[in-house]
Structure formats: C-alpha cells, structure tokens
Amino acid sequence: MDTSTEITDTPPPAPQPSVEQKRAARGATRPGDRIFLGLSRGSGIFLLVIMAAIAVFLTYRASLAISKDHGNFLTTFDWNTSIQPPSFGIAVLAYGTVISSIIAMVLAVPVAVAIALFLTHYAPRRLRGPIAYVIDLLAAVPSIVYGLWGALILVPHMNGLFGWLNDYLGWTGLFSWDQGAPRSMLTVGILLAIMILPIITNVSREVFRQVPQMHEEAALALGATRWEVIRMAVIPFGRSGVISASMLGLGRALGETMAVATVLSPDFLIHGSLLNPGGGTFAQNIASKFGEADEFGRDALIASGLVLFVITLLVNGAARMIIARRAEYSGANA
Amino acid sequence: MAKRIDVSGLSAYYGSFRAIEDISMTVEPRTVTAFIGPSGCGKSTFLRTLNRMHEVTSGGRVEGKVMLDDENLYGPGVDPVAVRREVGMVFQRPNPFPTMSVFENVAAGLKLNGSYKKSELADIVEKSLKGANLWNEVKDRLNKPGSGLSGGQQQRLCIARAIAVEPKVLLMDEPCSALDPISTLAIEDLIGELKERFTIVIVTHNMQQAARVSDRTAFFNLAAVGQPGKLIEIDDTERIFSNPSVQATEDYISGRFG
C-alpha cells in the first residue's frame, strides 16, 4: 500500500491496531500454525525443565551425603555408608567407568565405521538391506541379555585371549594377568563395545549415505580409487556425524548398568592391569548397592550418580566443541 | 600434452536400456569440441564414456572403442582409475570438496598421484590457479574453505583442480549452466586459453556458447523418448551454425524444436 494514501485514509489520532492486525503482523494467523508453535515450544521448554529438575534433585540429595562424608569424596578408595563415621569416594568408580568406556570406544568405533562404509560403498546392493536389519536387531537386544551372555559365554572364553595378552604384552603392566576369573575391565569393555556397535554403525551409515554423489564423482574424476574416494570425500564429509554417533554410543557405555553388574566382579581398588578382576562403574555400583542401602546410603549413591551426570555433560560438550571447531569445513556448506 | 580422441562404434547402456548408439567421431588435439542437442539425447552420457565415468553408475556399460592416441580406453586390462588421471572432468554444478581449503582442493589430485615436496606442491597449485584465472582472487585466502567462494569462483577452482594433474583431455559437462552471465564469460575466456594446452570437449545447452567457444560442434538427437541417442553430425562450428548438412540440425539450431 502507498504511504500517502494510508495517511489520507487514516483519520488522526490513529486507531489502535485490532487483534487481527497484530496477529497478521506476527504472521501466525492460522490455528494450525499456533497449535504447532505452542506444541514445539512447549516440548522444548519441557525438556529444559526436566534437565533442570534432575540436576536440582541430584545436587540436593548429593549434598546431604557429601557433607557427612568423612573420607574425601573424590579420592577415597572405599564405599562404607553404613558405618559411623561414613567414608566413601568415587575414585574407583570414575576410573572404572571411564576406562571401560574408552576400551569400548577403541574397539567399537573403527569396526562400526568400517561396517558403515562396507554397507554404503562396498556391499552388493541386495545385501545392504538385510545386513542393516540384522544390525538393527542387535540394538534391540535388552542389556540384561547381553549381561547373561557375557557372564555365561564371553567370560569362560576369555581365558585364551587373556593368557595370550599376558604372554606378549604382560610386560606393559596394563595386560598382566594373575589367572583370576576374567571378570575384569577388559571383558566389560569388550561387552560394551558389542552393545554400542549397532548405534554407532547405524548413525554412521546414515551419514555416509548423505554424501552427495557430486563429491564422490569429483574424486573419481581426479583418478581416485574406491578407497581414495572414501578417504577424500566420504570420511571428511561424515566426520562430524561419526563423532555424534560415537557420542551416542559413549553415552550408552558410560551409563550401562545390568550388563556390567552381571559380568564384573567388583571391588574398591584401582587395578593397574585391565585383565585382573575388580573395580567398578558408577551405574554398576548403584545397581548392586541401591536395594539394601538405607536413606543415607541412597543419598551417597545419588551423589555418585551426579558425578556420572557431570562426566556425561562434559564429554558431550567436548564433542560439540570438536564439531564446531571445523564447522566452516563441514559438509553442510556443500 | 594434448591427445587426439578417436571414437568408433560406441554404444552405452543403463542396464538393458541403450542410451546412445553407434557413435563414431574424432576430436583433434588442442581444439574445443561442443556437444549440443535436446535433453536426454545422450550427450552427457557420451561425454562420461570418454573418461570411463559412465560405468560408475549402477548398470552402466559401454561397447565400442575410444582411442586416446594409440591407447584404447576400453581395452582389456586398462584401469579406469588410470584413464581418469589422463582425462579430467568438470561437472555441471561446481563441486569443490567442502571439507578442504582452496589450496587442498587444487592439490587433491596431485596427492593421489604421488608425493610432492611442499614447495613443489605450492608451485603447482599457484600455476593451476593462475591457469584457471583464479589466482588473483584467492591468493590471500588459500587456507579458507573452497565452499566459501562464489559459484563462478568455485567452478574455476574445479577447473584448477582438474588441470593441476596435467590431463591430456578436459571434459566439461555444462560447466556454466549454474552460473551467472559474468561468471560464464570468465569460464568461456578460460576455455579459449586452455585449448592451447588441452583437448577440450564441452557439453552445453547454450547454442551461443557453443558458437562462441568451440572449433567443432557435434549435434546429437534421439528419434523418440525411449530410443537411443545418436550423433547426427559433427562439423566445423561455423558450418554447423550457418549451413548444416542435415535438416534436423538446422531445425534445432534455429529453434524449431528442442
């Protein structure tokens, strides 16, 4: 509309804009738009409220326990909440959680990326669907089933591997073995690796499938072999996606409870060797002690849960930073 | 050095569908040959047979002979990867690697072929960017992502990437169709310079462009949808646009169909 006609048409003083005009200016006039806006905004806020509520709950209950802890909460190698004065600390749990997750990631990520590349770039078209389906099934197996399989099948079969590692790598200390039952961090790490393999594989496969044909053709036209195409165009393009996929897997490994509790034979020591039984993780410790703990014991366990919560947040934040640092080179600019 | 292309009896298939049928032509070294014709006539498919990119498409298959000087590209035991290192290609949409800087993009092909010293690499990258008339625009941002350049600059970056490995032949598949007129002009000028060093084949939908840049023009057509595309005629560009020997060519050029 022309400005001059508006002035002549509008008698002074200008009337307040009606409700309809205000809505028109905002652009959200249709009921469908408003409902959807409300729903999506509400969901977003709801999520933040839940996160905040969890943090507040954990912090409050944890503070009750930590204030009465006579040991150092961070460095004590013990978990005595029923004696007076109570003495407990998360050192062993933090070490066990981190080390078992690192083993799981080291084993799972390369295999998962290799499977994803095989499914997207090497496997015959007819096989891609069925193989992906089987991997999906692997993700649907409940963790207690993994735990039972680990305890009944995996543990008895680890002796050979452990003996071999002890013979050839025992001198490092990391792989020395005292012939104890192989219910150790390495066994837990291997089991966790199998458990997080499907999620990392599936997300990576989706990412590799998104690589635009034109980037692969650009590499081919330069005289790249199939592997060089993957190295030049596919992996760099999928890099941030693979990191995100790994974080999803890591999240599961850090918090895995039943499978670890079933396989590990826990104690409250940090063992230099990954092969000797013992140690513990946050989730495993909570699961095995929560049932018989009194009010104070539960607060102490919740305090350890808070530490796990913080570790998970830190790991995710670090991953976000790695992705953001090279954002201007990301495939999203293609 | 630029090489001659000699195609005889070439057909290309997608599965059981024959996309182009029985094409024969000769492309002289250090000339520009333009392929024109209506959509679906198989000119892009034919172009992609010249560096064995057609067979990358699933079901893609080629019969016939493509001689690059004395070497049959479809001879037994010929490695398609080696062929593509001799016959470079520029695509319709600029496709610099988004995860690489300007410098890395140009150096990408070199790194496949062998190891270079840092200074050697820098020299070749500079020479290639100068060859693509892009050096002055990017010399201060070699380490910035290639995807940050404008569309026309990206396409010249792709040309620099292609010529950095010193191919014998340069194939261009509608290299200007995603660009504005000024960027198009820059690429056309560049093609005029590049033909001093390379044998160039360009597919284009723009007949003025074919008339401006090429020495020879090939007209492709198909009898009907679902029929294979055929080479109708190839001749000096001047003759094709003034006095073609086939009526269908004249009809297409004068805009009576297509």
Contact B145 A333 (CB under 8 A): yes
CB contact under 8 A, B93 and A214: yes
Cα(B202)–Cα(B89) distance, rounded to whole angstroms?
A: 10
Instruction: Report yes or no: B206 and B36 within 8 Å, Cβ to Cβ.
Output: no
Query: If you average pLDDT over every residue of chain B, what do you get?
Result: 92
* For residues A155-173, average pLDDT: 91
Averaged pLDDT for residues B111-140: 90
Q: What is the CA radius of gyration of chain A?
A: 27
Determine the Cα–Cα distance for residues A99 and A102; give it in Å rounded to an integer: 5
What does the DSSP assignment read for B88-118?
A: EEE-SS----TTSBHHHHHHHHHHHH----H
Q: Residues of B at the A interface (Cβ-Cβ below 8 Å)? A: 51, 53, 56, 58, 81-85, 88-89, 91, 93, 95-101, 108-109, 112-113, 145, 147-148, 158, 161-162, 165
Per the CB < 8 Å rule, is A221 touching B88? yes
> Hey, which residues does B222 pair with through a beta bridge?
B229
What's the pLDDT score for residue A139? 87
The pTM (predicted TM-score) of the whole model is 0.82
Tell me what ipTM this predicted complex has.
0.90
Contacts of A215 in chain B (CB under 8 A): 95, 97-98
H or E stretch including A47? Answer: helix A31-66
The fraction of chain A above a pLDDT of 90, given in percent, is 61
Question: CA–CA separation, A269 vs A96, rounded Å?
Answer: 10
What is B5-97+168-253's CATH topology?
Rossmann fold (3.40.50)
Is there a contact between A217 and B53 if contact means CB atoms under 8 Å apart?
Answer: yes
Comparing C-alpha atoms, which of A221, A238, A219 is closest to residue A229? A219
Percent of chain B's residues with pLDDT above 90: 80
Per-residue pLDDT for A137 more than 80? yes
Compute the nearest-CA separation of B221 from chain A (Å).
26
What pLDDT, on the 0 to 100 scale, is given for residue A3? 42
Q: Which two tokens stand for residue B191?
A: 């093609």
What's the token pair of residue B76? 């037994």
Tally C-beta pairs within 8 A across A and B. Answer: 82
